[in-house]
Amino acid sequence: MEAEPEPATIVPLCRPAAALEVAEACPVPPSLQAADALAPVFVGATRRITFFSLNGGAGRTTLATELACLLAARGRHRPGPGAAARPLRVALLDLDLRSATVAVRLGIPQPTLWDYLLSGDQGPGALDRHMVTHGSGARALLGPPKPLSGGTAVEPARVAEIVHRLECDGTHFILFDVGADLGAVTTWVLSAAHDIYVVLTPTASGVQDAYRSTEALRRLGLGSKLRYVVNRARPGIDLDEVMGDLGGRIAASIPFDPRIEEAENGHRIASLDGGGPAAEALAGLAAQVYPALSPPAARRRLRLFGRRRVG
Ligand SMILES: Nc1ncnc2c1ncn2[C@@H]1O[C@H](COP(=O)(O)OP(=O)(O)O)[C@@H](O)[C@H]1O
Ligand SMILES: [Mg+2]
């Protein structure tokens, strides 16, 4: 029998696609105690992740918020071999400037990006003072409470600065919630992201949107970063042909689950409430993004798989 991974096992953040599939199959999160014991040394740079669709209501905010809170609450790392395990540092940036809803999802109204920009304060600690901390540990820069008028548009350079600051502060994951558009800020985020998950809802208009989104993102030269998350999935809907056309891969399939809306209405995070098919699927997605969140058995299988590939 295989030994458990050493606590200081280094889990690289860039994984072969095959390894991702193995992690996805095992959504049950380890207990926090086990996660501490197995926390890997975090290597690599900050991972920037976004969810995209040209249709509103696909689930971009839900997925970005759930994933950010899940990674912050359950993810553990070690700054170096032998160091004590610590929670991952996760930032959630609400850059859906016309329809910012992360504040409502988290149940924290302010301060917002608006306050940060209007403060004119760019000194040390200013960004930190304008970010809120959710109970999960995730830090969020909330979006403007109402759409910004033309004269006060946010420049992508300001967003770049914010991201740079977060990275200098040792943030491990940055999750971006963006608008259903290809405006300057969204385009900057898409270019800066390492992973773009196109959110595909399994309806006729959802599928049409996935084609449109894919085409638009490929035109921007972003095709290599695209993955697909099916959201509001229902049994019996086969997307093989669609994925064949798109030449893509479904990274995760989040079922339709009324607990998501219940959690939204109570300003809770469904995947942290636990229970239910959507929470399980979200845990699977989090384990793909950060393999240390896979249960030990899944990691063992992942290693065996890797050996077969090498041998
Ligand atoms: N898997 C799901 N099951 C049930 N309801 C969902 C699911 N995903 C999202 N929703 C609900 O759908 C609505 C739209 O989701 P949202 O994340 O706000 O979309 P977007 O940010 O793309 O506009 C929200 O009310 C959310 O609670
Ligand atoms: Mg949204």
Mutation to probe ligand 1, out of 260, 267, 273, 282 (largest number of atoms < 8 A from CB)? 260
Q: Is 140 in the pocket of ligand 1 (CB under 6 A)?
A: no
At residue 210, what is the residue type? A
Minimum CA distance residue for ligand 1 atom 15: 59
Distance 98 CA to ligand 2 centre (A): 9
Q: What are phi and psi of 184, to 5 degrees?
A: -60, -45
Distance 59 CA to ligand 2 centre (A): 7
Q: Is 61 in the pocket of ligand 1 (CB under 6 A)?
A: yes
Is residue 82, in this structure, part of any structural domain at all? yes
* Per-residue confidence (pLDDT) for residue 13, from 0 to 100: 42
Residue 175, C-beta contacts closer than 8 angstroms, at least 6 positions apart:
49, 50, 64, 65, 67, 68, 71, 90, 91, 92, 93
* Per-residue confidence (pLDDT) for residue 269, from 0 to 100: 98
* Per-residue confidence (pLDDT) for residue 23, from 0 to 100: 34
Is residue 8, in this structure, part of any structural domain at all? no
Nearest ligand by distance to the CA of 99? 2
> For position 220, which CATH number holds?
3.40.50.300
Among candidate residues 269, 287, 290, 270, the one with its CA nearest the CA of residue 279: 270
Q: Is 261 in the pocket of ligand 1 (CB under 6 A)?
A: yes
- pTM of the shown model: 0.87
Among candidate residues 142, 56, 154, the one with its CA nearest the CA of residue 105: 142
Distance 72 CA to ligand 1 centre (A): 21
Minimum CA distance residue for ligand 1 atom 24: 261
Minimum CA distance residue for ligand 1 atom 23: 57
pLDDT, one tens digit per residue, over 58-101 is: 999 999 999 999 999 999 999 998 899 999 999 999 999 999 99
* Per-residue confidence (pLDDT) for residue 149, from 0 to 100: 66
Is residue 7, in this structure, part of any structural domain at all? no
* Per-residue confidence (pLDDT) for residue 28, from 0 to 100: 42
Is residue 10, in this structure, part of any structural domain at all? no
**Which stretches of the chain score pLDDT less than 70?**
1-31, 148-152, 296-311
Q: Is 263 in the pocket of ligand 1 (CB under 6 A)?
A: no
Domain that holds residue 78: 15-310
Q: Is 105 in the pocket of ligand 1 (CB under 6 A)?
A: no
Q: Do 207 and 179 meet the contact criterion of CB atoms below 8 Å apart?
A: no
Q: Report how many domains make up the chain.
A: 1
